[in-house]
Structure formats: C-alpha cells, structure tokens
Amino acid sequence: MSTAVTRKIGDSVFPAIGYGAMGIAAFYGKAQPDEERFKILDAVYDRGVRHWDTANVYLDSEELIGKWYAASYPSPILALMRPYTRFKRTGKRDEIFLATKFGLGADAATKGGVDGSPANVHASIERSLKRLGTDHVNLYYLHRADPRTPIEHTVGAMAELVKAGKVKYLGLSEISAATLRRAHAVHPIAAIQVEYSPFTLDIEDPKIALLQTARELGVQVVAYAPLGRGLLTGQYKSPDDFEEGDFRRKVPRYSKENFPKILRLADGLKKIGEKHGATAGQVSLAWLLAQGEDIIPIPGTTKVKYLEENIAAANVKLTQEDLREVRKAAEDADATEGTRYPEGSATLLFADTPALTIYMVLPPIDICLVRTALDGRRNLLAATRMFRRRAVITESHHAYIAIGVPPALKVHLELAAALEVEVADRAVGGGGVRLVLVEHGVEVYVFGMSI
C-alpha cells in the first residue's frame, strides 16, 4: 500500500483510506463467525489501514475489535482480567487511530432513540472502553443530535473526557451547520462524520452549508458510505440482491423504482475508471479524495479482495476532466429519489439540538442599567460582570446551575462581542430584559424589577 496519500485529524496522520467497521458486525445481514471476521481485521491491519471507525450501536463491532486485540495478547487469561489494557499490550494500540460513537441506540436511555445527556456521555464511554479493551479512544463522536439536550451540555461533558485522558478528539455525526458552530464554541470539534459520495452530495448543498461551515472552522470531514453502501460498485442489480435482514431493503432511496438510476450512475463511474484501469468503486473513492485533504473516506467490507481494492484507490489519480465527468454522471443519473435512511431515522439527519437557555435572576435594579451596559454592541461579558456578585443563575431544563456567570455562557459571551444583540423591554416571565444571541443558539434571560 502506498503511504504517500495521507490524512490528518488533530496531530494524528494516517493513510487516506480508513476502515468502517459497521458492516462487519451489523445491518447487512447475518454476521460471519468471529474467526472469519478476525481474518478481515488482520488484513486491515496488515495492509496498513490505521484509521478504524466503529460505534456502540454496531451490534458487537466494538466487542469484536476488543476480542481481536485479545487474540494478539500474550496471555488470553490476563487479557480478560485486564480488559481496559489488553489492546495496549498487543503493541498495536498506538498504531491505530480508533474512533467510536455514542448516543444512538445501544447505550441510550431512550431505547433506540438519541441520548446526548451528560450522564450518558460518561456512561457510554466506560462501556465502549471496556468492550474495545483500551483505556482511551482517539476520536469520540456524538452519533446524532439529541432533540432534548442542548449541544453545549453534550460537548461540555465530552470535553471532560478529554481532560480525563479517555478521549483525544471530539466529533459529531450528521449534525446541522448551526449545531456544529455551537459545539465548536464550547470545545474544538476535530471531525464530523457524514454520508458523502458521488451518490450522496447533501453535505455540499448551500442550504445545508455543512461542508462550508466545517471548512470555515477547520473541521475534518469523515465520509461514511463512500461507495454508496456498495451500490456504486455495480455489484447489486436490484434490491432483491440484498440478503434477508439487510437494512438496505428498507431504505426508500434503494427502491426498485430508483435502482435503474443507481445502476446508471455506477455504469458512468465504471466508464471513467476504464481510462485508469480502475473499478467504479475506486473512482468513487478517488473522487472523494480529490475533493480536498480534509475529506477522509472510511469504506467498510467483509472481503479481503475488496479491502485491497479500496486501499488501491488512493493511487488512482483522476484528472480535472474526470472529476467533472463524475459530477455529470451523478447529475444525469439523478438517483437521489427517496430518503437515504428508513422513515424515522431520516429525521435525525443534519439535525439541531434545542437552544441553550440560561436564566439570570437579579435583585431589584434599574433595567436602564442593563440596557446601557449592552448599548452599542459592547462586550456582553463585561456587562454581565456588573452583576456577577449579585446575580443568581437558576436552572431550567436547559440551563447550567452556577453562581455568577456559568462557564458555557462565558464562552458564548466572549465570542459574541461583535454580534448584534436584540434587547426587548417587554415583560418576560414577570418582567425583565430578554437578550437573544441568535448566532450561537443561546438565549439569555435577564430578570429584574425596575425601580
């Protein structure tokens, strides 16, 4: 494998093509026996793939990786006795950039929904570390935006894992651009994970603006399903080719009606590949790599021959004309009819979390002082400091409890110095001034009685 083409997340550098460990365990039909799957992971490691991606919800994917580490441990009995260190003791831990996810399904208190609560952040990492047989992960993602928990709360708790040494970098998956901005203001987000391929270009949509926002913030983009869940290879001719239990049978975009369009796109990629001695799948991966050094594909497979094919895609150099032809093939095929997830799951894509709401209750004070302090787009933090000794921060279902200025609010106020602030004199919950930091998804309610 050529190591010339690399990608970077934080300070970690690895070969450009990663490995997605979902399909080896979940969602594509019955999983193979462990020994067969160990052979795949052996091949992934032996062929130099160093970016491994899994999740708590991928059935036994985390456990499988943990058992694979244990198989290389000098004493299997000791490996079981020391579950948090067995991966490290194989000598392979430092070589692998290991990413996992939480909040969706398996560990969620919502029993199949999304749980980004601080309590679940801490509980989930402990379970994942135990399953993986390691004391830390390199990248920890929130799998989907929680519609009940402000992202500031979730990322604040995730940042505590960084301080504890259990996580090195933080990531988010399938979130909105606004949620990414809010999260990044609390703690740097190293990567987002989104479905991205010539088949699925949603991230590029100006209305969604996620790719644009990620690049503005310096956030890497990890592209899952870079082969269109296998459909861009041309291997599947109809939904009937999916085995029983394969979740793709339930995806509206993979319907019998839309499948001819998908095959048209796969055929277009195949024709482009013929000029380079490459397969349709390799063209898809090479096209993604050509979109920028911030794009990191993580194709998954359960067969060594396809693993090798995916790795070799890093050496396929498409011309500018080829890149345009790939886009034209996608436009001509128009194969995006229907959602890319079954009903219910599709509503979690590019999703927002609730606004962070903080209440500041002041003793009797002239409201004019508040308005004056905030006049002329001045620094909100300085204004808040006026009342720091007297203010009491009370909790709502979205609020931090603190005395004075809560940490999350400090972050937003410091970043909001140059923002327009809407100051409303109308009564809010008994009288007061309402300040709305729209740009950061934060609502601040300052209560006080005029005298």
- H or E stretch covering 361: strand 356-361
Kindly name the residue from 19, 58, 69, 236 that is annotated as catalytic.
Answer: 58
Sign of the C-alpha dihedral, residues 130, 351, 359, 435? positive
Q: How many residues does the chain have?
A: 451
Residue type (1 letter), 77 = I
What is 70-139 written as a DSSP string? HHTSS-HHHHHH-TTTHHHHTT-GGG-EEEEEESBSTT-TTSSSB---HHHHHHHHHHHHHHHTSS-EEE
Distance between alpha carbon 314 and the CA centroid of its chain, in Å?
Answer: 23
Q: Is 254 a catalytic residue?
A: no
| H or E segment and range at residue 444 | strand 442-447
Give the 3-state secondary structure of residue 198. Answer: coil
Contact between 242 and 236 under an 8 Å Cβ cutoff? The reply is yes
Cα diameter, the chain = 80
Q: Is 23 helix (H, G, I), strand (E, B) or coil?
A: coil
Q: Are the CB atoms for 223 and 297 separated by under 8 Å?
A: yes
User: Known catalytic residues?
Assistant: 58
